Homo-oligomer: A and B are copies of this chain.
Amino acid sequence: MEDIYPSRLHPTAEFLPRRDPVVHSQWHEDAPIDLEQTASFERDGFLVLEDLFSEAEVAFLQTEAGKLLSDPDALDQETVITEPGSRELRSIFRIHDQSAIVARLAADERLAGVARFLLGDEVYIHQSRLNYKPGFQGKEFYWHSDFETWHVEDGMPRMRALSMSVLLAENTPNNGPLMLIPGSHRALLTCVGQTPPDHYLTSLKKQEYGVPDEDSLAELAFKYGIVAPTGKAGSVVIFDCNVMHGSNGNITPFHRANAFLVYNAVSNRLGAPFGVDRPRPDFIAARGEITPIEPVSGRLASEVAA
């Protein structure tokens, strides 16, 4: 397959034009988001849906998250990621396969319906995780485009995927919220150099390859600015697979937590990686048999656990 987004090949970084739409459907009256929201996602590469889940639904999800985080031994061990230099939980991957409640969340029409509309296709979960960033010692996550990694290391062909972060704790300006560079999704900033084998073992903790260069980041930030959407638990931040994002550390006592779901178009299934010999494991990037999501309507409630 032709690599229309080559990265980590050349000694200098460049901006490659995006050759895929951002919104892959025509907006219509029955679309799950309104015209202004659609235009805003197209322009900025992200969108915040406030209070998408009720307080009762949030409490229900938080209870489930608490159970999962408190009993990591019950989980597939390779999916459990700790903070660098500590045993503190940072993320649990492939969480929709390990929790019926998160599977139900991923299929919820309020999320999956929007993903289907924006991606103009049936969708499946490319990656899912439960993120917990503790207070006081929460570490930063450096700038990156997800697509750059997903393309080079996982073999995602085109820009036809997006992430949804369902906030399970309030994002304040001070507790290390997700920061985005609006507009940065309109070009691929290539990274310099080659990727070592089994890079994923360290990159989930601390990124060292596939890292954008400082000059290009400064160019983007001065051109577009940086925004850090804040929101209560129950809000959802949706962002394009190629928007530049990262987060600062967090010395405040206020933890961050979210359920993180990556939807990919079924037509954009993974092939062989474009930049490494061996693809990353399935728990980071689903490949092979994939299951298109059947959106489910109605509120999240305890009966789904049965």
Contacts and interface: CB of A to CB of B under 8 A. Distances in A.
Interface of A: 135-136, 140, 142-143, 172-174, 176, 179, 214, 217-218, 221-222, 226, 228, 246-254
Contact of A176 (B214, B226, B228, B248): B248
A248 B247 CA distance: 11
Q: Which of A140, A218, A247 has the most CB of B within 10 A?
A: A140
Contacts of A221: 252-254
Given A214-B253, A246-B251, 11 more contacts: A142-B251, A143-B251, A172-B226, A173-B174, A174-B226, A179-B251, A179-B252, A217-B253, A248-B250, A248-B251, A249-B249
Contacts of A176: 248
Contact of A135 (B135, B140, B179, B218): B218
Given A136-B217, A214-B136, A218-B135, A174 B228 contact: yes
9 contacts: A135-B214, A140-B251, A174-B226, A176-B248, A179-B251, A179-B252, A221-B252, A221-B254, A249-B249
Nearest to A221: B253
Contacts of A135: 214, 218
Q: Which of A221, A226, A247 has the most CB of B within 10 A?
A: A226
Among all A-B residue pairs, the 8 with the closest Cβ atoms: A218-B253, A173-B173, A249-B249, A221-B253, A248-B248, A140-B251, A246-B251, A140-B249
Contacts of A143: 251
Q: Is the interface of A mostly helix, strand, loop or mixed?
A: loop
A226 B248 contact: no
Contacts of A246: 251
A140 B176 CA distance: 11
A190 B162 CA distance: 48
A247 to B, nearest CB: 8
A39 B221 CA distance: 38
Contacts of A142: 251
Nearest to A172: B226
A171 to B, nearest CB: 12
B252 A226 contact: yes
A137 to B, nearest CB: 9
A157 to B, nearest CB: 30
Nearest to A250: B248
Contacts of A218: 135, 253
A135 B222 CA distance: 13
Contact of A173 (B228, B247, B250, B251): B228
A246 B252 CA distance: 9
